[in-house]
Amino acid sequence: MKTITLAQLNEMLSCGVRDFSDCLFDSLDLSGRDLSGCCFDRCDFRGCNLTNANLTASTFRNAFFCGSILRGTLFIRASLHSADLRGCDMTDADISGADMYSSALQDAKLDGLIYDENTRYFAMRCPEKGAFIGWKVCYGRRVVMLLVPEDAQRVQGTHNEVRVDKAKVLTIKSVDLRESYADAHAYVDENFVYKKGEMVYAVGFNPDRFADSAGGIHIWLSREEAVAYLG
Protein backbone atom coordinates (compact mmCIF):
# COMPACT_ATOMS: atom_id res chain seq x y z
CA MET A 1 0.00 0.00 0.00
CA LYS A 2 1.49 3.33 -1.12
CA THR A 3 1.43 6.23 1.33
CA ILE A 4 0.20 9.48 -0.20
CA THR A 5 1.17 12.79 1.38
CA LEU A 6 -0.92 15.93 1.07
CA ALA A 7 1.59 17.45 -1.39
CA GLN A 8 1.52 14.30 -3.53
CA LEU A 9 -2.27 14.26 -3.50
CA ASN A 10 -2.44 17.88 -4.64
CA GLU A 11 0.04 17.22 -7.44
CA MET A 12 -1.76 14.10 -8.63
CA LEU A 13 -5.12 15.88 -8.65
CA SER A 14 -3.65 18.80 -10.61
CA CYS A 15 -2.41 16.29 -13.20
CA GLY A 16 -5.90 14.82 -13.56
CA VAL A 17 -5.29 11.62 -11.60
CA ARG A 18 -8.54 10.17 -10.26
CA ASP A 19 -7.52 6.60 -9.34
CA PHE A 20 -6.03 6.34 -5.85
CA SER A 21 -6.90 2.71 -5.18
CA ASP A 22 -4.76 0.78 -2.66
CA CYS A 23 -3.28 3.95 -1.11
CA LEU A 24 -2.76 5.03 2.51
CA PHE A 25 -3.80 8.50 3.65
CA ASP A 26 -2.43 8.98 7.16
CA SER A 27 -3.68 11.80 9.40
CA LEU A 28 -4.35 14.19 6.49
CA ASP A 29 -6.57 17.24 6.79
CA LEU A 30 -8.88 16.86 3.79
CA SER A 31 -11.70 18.95 5.21
CA GLY A 32 -13.69 20.83 2.59
CA ARG A 33 -11.75 19.24 -0.28
CA ASP A 34 -13.37 18.36 -3.59
CA LEU A 35 -12.51 14.68 -4.14
CA SER A 36 -15.56 13.85 -6.19
CA GLY A 37 -15.45 11.27 -8.96
CA CYS A 38 -12.32 9.54 -7.64
CA CYS A 39 -11.55 5.88 -7.02
CA PHE A 40 -10.44 5.15 -3.46
CA ASP A 41 -11.11 1.41 -3.52
CA ARG A 42 -9.22 -0.52 -0.80
CA CYS A 43 -7.72 2.71 0.55
CA ASP A 44 -6.87 3.30 4.19
CA PHE A 45 -7.95 6.70 5.57
CA ARG A 46 -6.21 6.53 8.91
CA GLY A 47 -7.20 9.33 11.28
CA CYS A 48 -8.06 11.73 8.46
CA ASN A 49 -10.28 14.80 8.73
CA LEU A 50 -12.83 14.69 5.89
CA THR A 51 -15.26 17.18 7.43
CA ASN A 52 -17.46 18.75 4.71
CA ALA A 53 -15.38 17.10 1.97
CA ASN A 54 -17.13 16.53 -1.36
CA LEU A 55 -16.83 12.82 -2.21
CA THR A 56 -19.79 12.73 -4.58
CA ALA A 57 -19.74 9.79 -7.03
CA SER A 58 -16.42 8.49 -5.66
CA THR A 59 -15.86 4.81 -4.88
CA PHE A 60 -14.64 3.44 -1.54
CA ARG A 61 -15.09 -0.32 -2.00
CA ASN A 62 -13.40 -2.14 0.91
CA ALA A 63 -11.95 1.16 2.13
CA PHE A 64 -10.98 1.64 5.78
CA PHE A 65 -11.79 4.85 7.70
CA CYS A 66 -10.31 4.05 11.12
CA GLY A 67 -10.48 7.12 13.38
CA SER A 68 -11.50 9.47 10.57
CA ILE A 69 -13.90 12.39 10.95
CA LEU A 70 -16.70 12.45 8.39
CA ARG A 71 -18.90 15.24 9.72
CA GLY A 72 -20.99 16.77 6.93
CA THR A 73 -19.10 14.75 4.31
CA LEU A 74 -20.88 14.39 0.97
CA PHE A 75 -21.03 10.75 -0.06
CA ILE A 76 -23.81 11.42 -2.60
CA ARG A 77 -24.02 8.57 -5.14
CA ALA A 78 -20.75 7.17 -3.75
CA SER A 79 -20.01 3.46 -3.46
CA LEU A 80 -19.20 2.44 0.12
CA HIS A 81 -19.58 -1.27 -0.63
CA SER A 82 -17.91 -3.18 2.25
CA ALA A 83 -16.30 0.02 3.60
CA ASP A 84 -15.25 -0.04 7.26
CA LEU A 85 -16.82 3.00 8.95
CA ARG A 86 -16.91 1.61 12.48
CA GLY A 87 -16.66 4.28 15.15
CA CYS A 88 -16.51 7.16 12.64
CA ASP A 89 -18.25 10.45 13.35
CA MET A 90 -20.66 10.78 10.40
CA THR A 91 -22.82 13.51 11.92
CA ASP A 92 -24.78 15.33 9.17
CA ALA A 93 -23.03 13.35 6.42
CA ASP A 94 -25.03 12.87 3.20
CA ILE A 95 -25.30 9.36 1.73
CA SER A 96 -28.14 10.13 -0.67
CA GLY A 97 -28.04 7.66 -3.56
CA ALA A 98 -24.98 5.89 -2.11
CA ASP A 99 -24.37 2.14 -2.15
CA MET A 100 -23.93 1.08 1.48
CA TYR A 101 -24.02 -2.69 0.92
CA SER A 102 -22.13 -4.56 3.65
CA SER A 103 -20.55 -1.38 5.01
CA ALA A 104 -19.59 -1.65 8.69
CA LEU A 105 -21.31 1.02 10.79
CA GLN A 106 -21.09 -0.36 14.31
CA ASP A 107 -20.51 2.41 16.87
CA ALA A 108 -20.51 5.07 14.13
CA LYS A 109 -22.09 8.39 15.09
CA LEU A 110 -25.00 8.84 12.67
CA ASP A 111 -26.83 11.85 14.12
CA GLY A 112 -28.41 13.89 11.34
CA LEU A 113 -27.25 11.46 8.64
CA ILE A 114 -28.99 12.25 5.35
CA TYR A 115 -30.21 9.47 3.06
CA ASP A 116 -33.02 9.02 0.54
CA GLU A 117 -35.01 6.36 -1.32
CA ASN A 118 -32.07 5.86 -3.67
CA THR A 119 -29.64 5.03 -0.87
CA ARG A 120 -29.02 1.30 -1.11
CA TYR A 121 -28.74 -0.99 1.92
CA PHE A 122 -29.05 1.61 4.66
CA ALA A 123 -32.76 1.60 5.53
CA MET A 124 -34.09 -1.76 6.73
CA ARG A 125 -35.51 -3.96 3.99
CA CYS A 126 -37.33 -6.37 6.31
CA PRO A 127 -40.86 -5.45 7.50
CA GLU A 128 -40.52 -3.04 10.40
CA LYS A 129 -44.04 -3.86 11.61
CA GLY A 130 -46.24 -6.92 11.50
CA ALA A 131 -45.49 -10.63 11.12
CA PHE A 132 -43.38 -12.06 8.32
CA ILE A 133 -41.74 -15.29 7.16
CA GLY A 134 -38.01 -15.94 7.55
CA TRP A 135 -35.64 -18.79 6.73
CA LYS A 136 -32.43 -20.28 8.03
CA VAL A 137 -30.33 -23.38 7.38
CA CYS A 138 -29.29 -25.56 10.30
CA TYR A 139 -26.93 -28.49 10.82
CA GLY A 140 -27.21 -31.13 8.14
CA ARG A 141 -28.54 -28.48 5.74
CA ARG A 142 -32.00 -28.66 7.25
CA VAL A 143 -33.97 -25.62 6.10
CA VAL A 144 -36.16 -24.04 8.76
CA MET A 145 -39.18 -21.92 7.86
CA LEU A 146 -39.99 -19.44 10.63
CA LEU A 147 -42.90 -17.15 11.41
CA VAL A 148 -41.66 -13.93 13.01
CA PRO A 149 -44.62 -12.70 15.09
CA GLU A 150 -45.96 -9.18 15.04
CA ASP A 151 -44.49 -8.30 18.44
CA ALA A 152 -41.01 -9.66 17.71
CA GLN A 153 -38.04 -7.31 17.73
CA ARG A 154 -36.25 -7.25 14.40
CA VAL A 155 -33.15 -5.48 13.10
CA GLN A 156 -31.27 -5.44 9.81
CA GLY A 157 -27.97 -3.79 8.96
CA THR A 158 -26.40 -3.13 5.57
CA HIS A 159 -26.90 -6.62 4.12
CA ASN A 160 -29.79 -9.02 3.64
CA GLU A 161 -29.51 -10.97 6.89
CA VAL A 162 -32.08 -10.14 9.60
CA ARG A 163 -31.88 -10.69 13.37
CA VAL A 164 -35.02 -11.29 15.46
CA ASP A 165 -35.59 -12.04 19.14
CA LYS A 166 -38.16 -14.79 18.64
CA ALA A 167 -39.96 -16.87 16.02
CA LYS A 168 -42.21 -19.89 15.57
CA VAL A 169 -40.94 -22.91 13.68
CA LEU A 170 -43.35 -23.76 10.86
CA THR A 171 -41.51 -26.42 8.86
CA ILE A 172 -38.11 -28.10 8.74
CA LYS A 173 -37.23 -29.67 5.41
CA SER A 174 -34.27 -30.83 3.38
CA VAL A 175 -32.83 -28.52 0.75
CA ASP A 176 -34.49 -30.55 -2.01
CA LEU A 177 -37.83 -30.51 -0.09
CA ARG A 178 -38.05 -34.32 -0.17
CA GLU A 179 -37.70 -34.89 3.56
CA SER A 180 -39.31 -33.30 6.63
CA TYR A 181 -37.88 -33.25 10.14
CA ALA A 182 -39.13 -32.69 13.67
CA ASP A 183 -36.10 -30.65 14.77
CA ALA A 184 -32.88 -29.01 13.65
CA HIS A 185 -29.75 -27.87 15.49
CA ALA A 186 -28.18 -24.47 14.86
CA TYR A 187 -24.72 -24.39 13.30
CA VAL A 188 -23.28 -21.78 15.67
CA ASP A 189 -24.71 -23.30 18.86
CA GLU A 190 -25.58 -26.98 18.55
CA ASN A 191 -27.54 -26.77 21.81
CA PHE A 192 -29.95 -24.29 20.21
CA VAL A 193 -32.67 -26.50 18.77
CA TYR A 194 -35.53 -25.61 16.42
CA LYS A 195 -38.57 -27.86 16.93
CA LYS A 196 -41.48 -27.91 14.52
CA GLY A 197 -44.51 -26.08 15.90
CA GLU A 198 -42.62 -24.49 18.79
CA MET A 199 -41.40 -20.98 19.56
CA VAL A 200 -37.68 -20.25 19.75
CA TYR A 201 -36.23 -17.31 21.68
CA ALA A 202 -32.88 -15.61 21.17
CA VAL A 203 -30.43 -15.48 24.05
CA GLY A 204 -29.01 -11.98 24.52
CA PHE A 205 -30.75 -10.29 21.62
CA ASN A 206 -28.89 -7.07 20.69
CA PRO A 207 -31.14 -4.28 19.32
CA ASP A 208 -28.20 -2.50 17.64
CA ARG A 209 -28.96 -3.10 13.96
CA PHE A 210 -25.34 -2.54 12.92
CA ALA A 211 -23.87 -5.09 15.36
CA ASP A 212 -23.71 -7.75 12.67
CA SER A 213 -22.55 -10.72 14.74
CA ALA A 214 -24.55 -9.86 17.85
CA GLY A 215 -27.12 -11.98 19.66
CA GLY A 216 -30.34 -12.89 17.90
CA ILE A 217 -31.89 -15.45 15.59
CA HIS A 218 -30.19 -14.80 12.25
CA ILE A 219 -32.54 -15.37 9.33
CA TRP A 220 -33.06 -14.52 5.66
CA LEU A 221 -36.14 -13.24 3.89
CA SER A 222 -36.13 -15.95 1.23
CA ARG A 223 -35.41 -19.67 1.20
CA GLU A 224 -33.01 -19.20 -1.71
CA GLU A 225 -30.87 -16.69 0.20
CA ALA A 226 -30.71 -18.93 3.27
CA VAL A 227 -29.53 -21.92 1.23
CA ALA A 228 -27.09 -19.85 -0.84
CA TYR A 229 -25.49 -18.38 2.30
CA LEU A 230 -23.97 -21.75 3.22
CA GLY A 231 -23.05 -22.56 -0.39
Task: Examine the domain organization and report whether 68 and 108 are in the same domain.
Answer: yes
Q: What is the pLDDT of residues 176-226, one digit of tens each?
A: 999 999 999 999 888 899 999 999 999 899 999 999 888 899 999 999 999
Q: What is the pLDDT of residues 61-111, one digit of tens each?
A: 999 998 999 999 999 999 999 999 999 999 999 999 999 999 999 999 999
Q: What is the pLDDT of residues 134-165, one digit of tens each?
A: 999 999 999 999 999 999 999 999 999 999 99
Taking alpha carbons only, the member of 83, 87, 133, 136 closest to residue 108 is 87
pTM above 0.85, yes or no: yes
Q: Distance (Å, rounded) from C-alpha 16 to C-alpha 126? A: 43
pLDDT at 191: 87
Task: Examine the domain organization and report whether 22 and 101 are in the same domain.
Answer: yes
Task: Examine the domain organization and report whether 73 and 118 are in the same domain.
Answer: yes
Is it the case that residue 167 has pLDDT exceeding 70?
yes
What is the count of structural domains for the chain? 2
Identify whether the C-beta of residue 37 lies closer than 8 Å to the C-beta of residue 78. Answer: no
What range does the domain containing 99 cover? Answer: 1-123
Task: Examine the domain organization and report whether 107 and 146 are in the same domain.
Answer: no
Task: Examine the domain organization and report whether 29 and 107 are in the same domain.
Answer: yes
Q: What is the pLDDT of residues 1-59, one digit of tens each?
A: 899 999 999 999 999 999 999 999 999 999 999 999 999 999 999 999 999 999 999 99
Q: Distance (Å, rounded) from C-alpha 81 to C-alpha 98? A: 9
Identify whether the C-beta of residue 207 lies closer than 8 Å to the C-beta of residue 215. Answer: no
Of 123, 141, 161, the domain-final residue: 123
pLDDT band at 231 (very low <50, low <70, confident <90, very high): low
Task: Examine the domain organization and report whether 48 and 81 are in the same domain.
Answer: yes
Task: Examine the domain organization and report whether 25 and 81 are in the same domain.
Answer: yes
Task: Examine the domain organization and report whether 69 and 145 are in the same domain.
Answer: no
- Phi, psi of 180, deg, nearest 5: -120, 150
Task: Examine the domain organization and report whether 92 and 159 are in the same domain.
Answer: no
Is it the case that residue 230 has pLDDT exceeding 80?
no
